[in-house]
Structure 1
Amino acid sequence: MKMTVFLLTAAFLNVAANGVSQTVTYSGNNVSLENVFKEVKRQTGYVFFYHESILQNTKPVNINANNKALEEFMEDLLNDQPLSYKIKNKAIIISAKPSEEKLNSPMLALPPVKGVIRDTEGNPLGGINIVVKGTKRGVVSDAYGNFMIDAKEGEVLIISSVSYAAREIKIGASDAPLIVSLEKNISQLDEVQYIAYGTTSKRFNIGNTATVKGEVIERQPIQNPLFALQGRVPGLLITQNTGLTNGAFTVQIQGQNSIGQRSDPLILIDGIPLAFESYGDNVTPLRNNTTGRPGNSPINFINPSDIESIDVLKDAEATAIYGSRAANGAILITTKKGKLGKTKVSLGWQEGWGKVTRKVDMLDTRQYLNMRYEALRNDGLSINSGVNYDLKLWDTTRYTDWQKELIGGTARFSNLNVSISGGTSTLQYMVGGTLNKTTTVFLGDQASKTGAVHFNINAASTNQRFKFSLTGSYSTNDNGIPGEDLTRYAVFLSPDAPALYNGDGTLNWAPNENGSSTWNNPMTSVQFSGYDHSAKVLTTNADFSYSIFSGLTIKSNFGYNNIQGNTFFAQSLNALPPEARNNGSRLSFFNNMNSFSWIAEPQLTFVRTFGKTYIDALAGVTFQKNYSEYTGTEASGFINDLLMRDLRSATSIKGNYNNTIYRYNAAFGRINLLYDKKYIVNFSARRDGSSRFGENNRFNNFWSVGAGWIFTEEKNIGNILPALSFGKLRGSYGTTGSDAIADYLY
């Protein structure tokens, strides 16, 4: 830990430790103390710790020293100043000198306030300034983050550092030691980016990666968190396949990258991959697609408020280490974790409404009829030469704005979130829950309702060598939204089409002289075609790590997913046109899907700095297995609509069953080299084995190599390009593959 503190100090305070001397040679007149401190630091390598406020009452100095001992030089320098100093290790701590009144006041009898300062991960922070607000009393935390300062109840401590956000702590009546957590002051270039099996920053990342923070995602009135990425990630295209709430969607990163039909990227939640068939399609697909129902995507069940960030990996340098699973890129969803501090309760409520704001300009009835008559004349036909119900039978003086009629309603979005978080340096926790209800702009009051709970526990030993994390979520959804998108009817129905309902409330089929229907009433799917879909998604992830010695860590993650889906669809006789009812039948479809997936990834990491060279190496293996089973049942012959959910009331039952097993093993490694904080070289490799290929093609190798140069770190670039604060050139080459195909095709 001492080494960590030293390295941080070196990085942020720019300490030069070479050629350290304990004598000082310096001459100057009317020089500020701050400039003298800088020169002493340059000559000796000793680092000064002080709060800027204590220099306000100082005065410039005249000094002439030749090879004077450091202690003697400091005595002469501060002789006529309201300051005192203390030399400890390689640090010079400057503090305010108590006045005569304060020396004789009862203040010295105050019991000192003790505390410890840590970062958000629980690591101690040394060299942090602690000052009593409005006074000159100040101290600096030691290498273990400990401090002790004279302060009384009601006074406020200002805790600050160049590299961390300042905090103010009010002293209470308790004499218990203070535990203070500081967050880093991070520029956008140094913000954390999650990559495959690790983290980096924008500054040193040479892969094509984009990051969207959780605070951006949770502000959006959406249920699927991926929709928050639309327009925010270059090269990412997200398209919902229908206008239905919770419907399946298509995701493409930088276009079509596979010759097959699928172009879905690999999606991982806290490092655990989702099976590709579960998020691009319905979670309860009918094998023959007899109903075309929308199903539900498990991505919809992730509460946007639980997300810390989403990182999109676009190129081979970023995804090659995922091998045959990431030819189409990868999306890493990282959920929020517990943080150090007092228990915090958060409550959020979102309420939104939506309407179709831009409608398609359509012809009115007169324009439509003129177009139809002209079309018949152009073909040399008469009105009587065909069916032409819109011209012969329907009321040609009638006009209906079908967009207003069918999709002119108001959709409502309601979302309630609650979370509790907090923890100590060795244990942090977070528990959250959400309730969501979403309706559509269609006629009726059908809705999709979702409930979810998410939790995270982080634990560590007192010496921080052993760390453990457990994350999990459980979501349920009941979707009663009509299974058919009415938008196509709103656009394609002629303006003189009949009314939806008769005067007695029954569906209007606008029968001809034979009693047969003359149009397809769009309300059959809403009123007389029952539809219910329910889904349950369980995701758990356990991580542990143990630091064998400084820089070498063994760790592993274990993940488990379970997705269950149940769909019921009923077609009443009343949903059929009159002419089809004699030969028709009441039909019910019952479909169930159950998918289990587990994954284990033991890893060994090595992180060390040798001089100007930083090394980050990783090696690991992957073991994964998915098991999915599907059952579908078609029942008919019900004597009335009320019995259509009861299989025992059917006269005919047909069923099908299917199951698949997918196995995947891999070995992977990566080494990242950073020299002098400006030259970067990365290499990664993976050997994959997938059961979706035949024995002769089951294994393959994937790799990538990349390099980067932060040219603005070169000495002369600032003179050549003074307006450029940061510039980086990067390039990479790699190979990836895809096993996102159906099982057993070989």
Structure 2
Amino acid sequence: VDYRKVESLLQDLKKAHHVFFVYRSELVKNKFVNVNARTFRTWEEKLTYAVTASGLRVEKTDHNVYVISQPKLPGPEAQTIPATSGPSATPGAALSPTAVPVTGRVTGPDGAAVPGVTVLVKGTTNGTTTDATGNFSLSLPDADGTLVVSAIGFVTQELPLQGRTQLNVVLANDVQALNDVVVLGYTTERKADLTGAVAQVSQRDISGLPVTTPAQILQGKAAGVAITAATGAPGENIAVRIRGVGTINDNNPLYIIDGVPTKDGINQISPNDIESINILKDASSAAIYGARASNGVVVVTTKRGKSGKPRLSVSAYSGVQTSANLIKMANTPQYVNAYNVAAQNDGRTPISAAVAATLPDVNWLKEVLKPAWQHNVQLDVSGGGENSQYIVSGSYLTQDGLINNSSYDRYNLRTAVSSSLSKYVKIGTNANLSYSKTRQVGTSGDGFGDGNPGASVVRFALFRTPGTPVYNDQG
């Protein structure tokens, strides 16, 4: 039988679905479960089965955190305490009422048993979980309480007993996620009604990401969307490819920012001003835009003001960028040894030991690529009344390059005001002012060609010998 460790299964689920599990290590230590013997509709159902089969229980919080713990113990059963003295003492006399057993079975919408469902007496800690066949059993002081039945992926139900001791509970799927609205080119649709290939990145996926451009938000967030940077230089445009490369010419998608089509305007807005991003990947979703949408469409919706008291929001972050996975360079002794072998084969004069002792030992890649700072500050004010809403935001981004004298600075000022004059008339403005300044240093090629900022500094660092000093005698 294909059994595997519960802890290993939790680690796989954590990586695959970007969730977190909270548990004591001794709870799952040396516990094994066979999840290949059953077919599960969702990964949460697989999680519930694995945890329940291990004699444990799992609960989900509001932030994709799953708490695994021991099952709650049932309420105290009625105890019988024998009398020890007195003429009327009778052995085995009961001093508390007899417990009432309540049993039942929990099934899903399709009639299949649902294991791992939490059944709790409302207002108490008396509860249990269903077994692999969906059955549960509780001991209660009476049959007049209310049971709260809850499970991951299902709607929580409260069931008054009203004297019943046998229950059959049918859970309903939690379809809240299917009611999310997806913005298309010509309309909006619920996820449940959507048939085209559309990927959505919402505000909760965007907030807190330390990115410099909106295109970087999509990295790892949408299937079939590849995000690449040619050199990693500050301010460099990010290449977005939806479902691969379809032509030898322009493969960039069409961007729609608040209804305005653009090819490069995506780099002029601040990532913090974005409310949601929808990627239209198939022909039916992007058909309204015609030939321009042959490489896909990225629909960007920016933040709007909301009715209520004025709200001030300030966010900032700072970080350090470092180079990684650099090519291992030869040091001076290794270079001198290789040079002398080549010189001997070529009949030239080798480098003597006396001269080699005076040469410096320089790693030119590390001299060229230095840690660089990145800072971002965002401030916005929003609010409004029943008929008018507004938002004003400003941001500043500065990014130093790993190569000295390269940098990128961007200033953004955005305002959006909307007013409803009547049931059929609505006016508003949406303006984004952006100023950016890029300091480039050659990072690719040999420097030839129009628009090339110069020969690659990294290329020359790879060619430079370690015995060449960084500074001359005058510093």
**TM-score band (shorter)?**
0.5 to 0.7
Q: Is the 8 A contact 2:360 2:469 kept in 1?
A: no
How many angstroms apart in 2 are the aligned matches of 1:195 and 1:491? 48
Secondary structure of 2:220's counterpart equals coil
Long gaps (5+) in structure 2: 1-122, 124-173, 444-455
How many angstroms apart in 2 are the aligned matches of 1:373 and 1:233? 54
- CA displacement at 1:342 relative to structure 2: 1.4
- CA displacement at 1:381 relative to structure 2: 3.1
Q: Which residue pairs with 1:404 in the alignment?
A: 366
Written as runs of structure 1 = structure 2, the 5 A alignment for 1:226-241 is 226-241=215-230
Q: Is the 8 A contact 2:421 2:427 kept in 1?
A: no
Written as runs of structure 1 = structure 2, the 5 A alignment for 1:545-564 is none
- CA displacement at 1:406 relative to structure 2: 0.8
Q: Which residue pairs with 1:142 in the alignment?
A: none
Q: Is the 8 A contact 2:255 2:266 kept in 1?
A: no
1:436 maps onto 2:424 in alignment: no
Q: What are the superposed Cα offsets for residues 81-130 of structure 1, whole Å, 9 maximum, x if unpaired?
A: xxxxxxxxxxxxxxxxxxxxxxxxxxxxxxxxxxxxxxxxxxxxxxxxxx
How many angstroms apart in 2 are the aligned matches of 1:504 and 1:431? 53
Q: Is the 8 A contact 1:451 1:476 kept in 2?
A: yes
Q: What are the superposed Cα offsets for residues 383-433 of structure 1, whole Å, 9 maximum, x if unpaired?
A: 46xxx99x9x998843212222110x2211111111111112211111111
Written as runs of structure 1 = structure 2, the 5 A alignment for 1:166-205 is 187-205=176-194
How many angstroms apart in 2 are the aligned matches of 1:304 and 1:394? 53
Aligned partner of 2:346 among 377, 381, 384: 381
1:447 maps onto 2:404 in alignment: no
Q: Which residue pairs with 1:494 in the alignment?
A: 465
Q: Is the 8 A contact 2:282 2:296 kept in 1?
A: yes
1:469 maps onto 2:428 in alignment: yes
- CA displacement at 1:270 relative to structure 2: 1.0
Q: What are the superposed Cα offsets for residues 591-626 of structure 1, whole Å, 9 maximum, x if unpaired?
A: xxxxxxxxxxxxxxxxxxxxxxxxxxxxxxxxxxxx
Written as runs of structure 1 = structure 2, the 5 A alignment for 1:362-377 is 362-372=329-339
Secondary structure of 2:193's counterpart equals coil
How many angstroms apart in 2 are the aligned matches of 1:233 and 1:493? 42
Secondary structure of 1:438's counterpart equals strand
Secondary structure of 2:333's counterpart equals helix
1:261 maps onto 2:249 in alignment: yes
Q: Which residue pairs with 2:285 in the alignment?
A: 318
Q: What are the superposed Cα offsets for residues 438-484 of structure 1, whole Å, 9 maximum, x if unpaired?
A: 1122235x53222111111122134x322233211001112235354
1:460 maps onto 2:420 in alignment: yes
Structure 1-normalised TM-score? 0.36
Kindly tell me: are residues 303 and 371 of structure 1, through their superposed partners in 2, closer, same or farther at Cα, counting changes over 3 Å? Answer: same
Q: Which residue pairs with 2:163 in the alignment?
A: none
How many angstroms apart in 2 are the aligned matches of 1:469 and 1:242? 40
Kindly tell me: are residues 194 and 375 of structure 1, through their superposed partners in 2, closer, same or farther at Cα, counting changes over 3 Å? Answer: farther
Q: Which residue pairs with 2:382 in the alignment?
A: 421
How many angstroms apart in 2 are the aligned matches of 1:369 and 1:262? 48
Kindly tell me: are residues 194 and 368 of structure 1, through their superposed partners in 2, closer, same or farther at Cα, counting changes over 3 Å? Answer: farther
Structure 2-normalised TM-score? 0.56
Kindly tell me: are residues 479 and 382 of structure 1, through their superposed partners in 2, closer, same or farther at Cα, counting changes over 3 Å? Answer: same
Q: Which residue pairs with 1:523 in the alignment?
A: none
Q: Is the 8 A contact 2:257 2:266 kept in 1?
A: no
- CA displacement at 1:489 relative to structure 2: 3.5
Q: Which residue pairs with 2:474 in the alignment?
A: 504
- CA displacement at 1:300 relative to structure 2: 3.3
Aligned partner of 1:346 among 302, 308, 313: 313
CA RMSD of aligned residues (A): 3.1
Kindly tell me: are residues 266 and 231 of structure 1, through their superposed partners in 2, closer, same or farther at Cα, counting changes over 3 Å? Answer: same
Read off the aligned partner of 2:362 and give its amino acid letter.
T
Secondary structure of 2:192's counterpart equals coil
Instruction: Mark the structure with the bigger radius of gyration.
Output: 1
How many angstroms apart in 1 are the aligned matches of 2:458 and 2:203? 33
Secondary structure of 1:321's counterpart equals helix
Q: What are the superposed Cα offsets for residues 258-317 of structure 1, whole Å, 9 maximum, x if unpaired?
A: 2x322111112112111x4xx3xxxxxxxxxxxxxxxxxx53331111000111111112
Secondary structure of 2:323's counterpart equals coil
- CA displacement at 1:350 relative to structure 2: 1.5
Read off the aligned partner of 2:470 and give its amino acid letter.
L
How many angstroms apart in 1 are the aligned matches of 2:212 and 2:252? 19
Kindly tell me: are residues 271 and 492 of structure 1, through their superposed partners in 2, closer, same or farther at Cα, counting changes over 3 Å? Answer: farther
How many angstroms apart in 2 are the aligned matches of 1:490 and 1:218? 38
How many angstroms apart in 1 are the aligned matches of 2:213 and 2:356? 43
Q: Which residue pairs with 2:165 in the alignment?
A: none
- CA displacement at 1:239 relative to structure 2: 1.6
Q: Is the 8 A contact 1:245 1:438 kept in 2?
A: yes
Q: Which residue pairs with 1:548 in the alignment?
A: none
Q: Which residue pairs with 2:52 in the alignment?
A: none
Secondary structure of 2:245's counterpart equals coil
Number of aligned residues: 291
How many angstroms apart in 1 are the aligned matches of 2:421 and 2:373? 48
Q: Which residue pairs with 2:294 in the alignment?
A: 327
Read off the aligned partner of 2:250 and give its amino acid letter.
R
Q: Is the 8 A contact 2:235 2:407 kept in 1?
A: no
Q: What are the superposed Cα offsets for residues 208-237 of structure 1, whole Å, 9 maximum, x if unpaired?
A: 111112343241222111112112211111
Kindly tell me: are residues 190 and 376 of structure 1, through their superposed partners in 2, closer, same or farther at Cα, counting changes over 3 Å? Answer: farther
Read off the aligned partner of 2:435 and give its amino acid letter.
T
Q: What are the superposed Cα offsets for residues 6-48 of structure 1, whole Å, 9 maximum, x if unpaired?
A: xxxxxxxxxxxxxxxxxxxxxxxxxxxxxxxxxxxxxxxxxxx
Kindly tell me: are residues 321 and 502 of structure 1, through their superposed partners in 2, closer, same or farther at Cα, counting changes over 3 Å? Answer: same
Written as runs of structure 1 = structure 2, the 5 A alignment for 1:648-667 is none
Read off the aligned partner of 1:319 and give its amino acid letter.
A
Kindly tell me: are residues 372 and 238 of structure 1, through their superposed partners in 2, closer, same or farther at Cα, counting changes over 3 Å? Answer: farther
Written as runs of structure 1 = structure 2, the 5 A alignment for 1:117-128 is none
Kindly tell me: are residues 370 and 209 of structure 1, through their superposed partners in 2, closer, same or farther at Cα, counting changes over 3 Å? Answer: farther
Long gaps (5+) in structure 1: 1-55, 57-184, 280-297, 506-746
Q: Is the 8 A contact 1:439 1:481 kept in 2?
A: no
Kindly tell me: are residues 319 and 372 of structure 1, through their superposed partners in 2, closer, same or farther at Cα, counting changes over 3 Å? Answer: farther
Read off the aligned partner of 1:219 and give its amino acid letter.
G
How many angstroms apart in 2 are the aligned matches of 1:314 and 1:257? 13
- CA displacement at 1:375 relative to structure 2: 6.0
Read off the aligned partner of 2:270 and give its amino acid letter.
N
How many angstroms apart in 2 are the aligned matches of 1:375 and 1:400? 21
User: Structure 1 vs Structure 2: percent identity of aligned residues?
Assistant: 30
Q: Is the 8 A contact 1:242 1:248 kept in 2?
A: no
Secondary structure of 1:203's counterpart equals helix
How many angstroms apart in 1 are the aligned matches of 2:280 and 2:411? 30
Q: Is the 8 A contact 1:214 1:305 kept in 2?
A: no
Kindly tell me: are residues 262 and 187 of structure 1, through their superposed partners in 2, closer, same or farther at Cα, counting changes over 3 Å? Answer: same
Kindly tell me: are residues 194 and 373 of structure 1, through their superposed partners in 2, closer, same or farther at Cα, counting changes over 3 Å? Answer: farther
Aligned partner of 2:269 among 276, 298, 302: 302
Secondary structure of 2:317's counterpart equals strand
Q: Is the 8 A contact 2:383 2:391 kept in 1?
A: yes
State which drifts further: 348-357 or 223-232.
Answer: 348-357
Aligned partner of 1:244 among 233, 246, 249: 233
How many angstroms apart in 2 are the aligned matches of 1:222 and 1:469? 29
- CA displacement at 1:376 relative to structure 2: 6.8
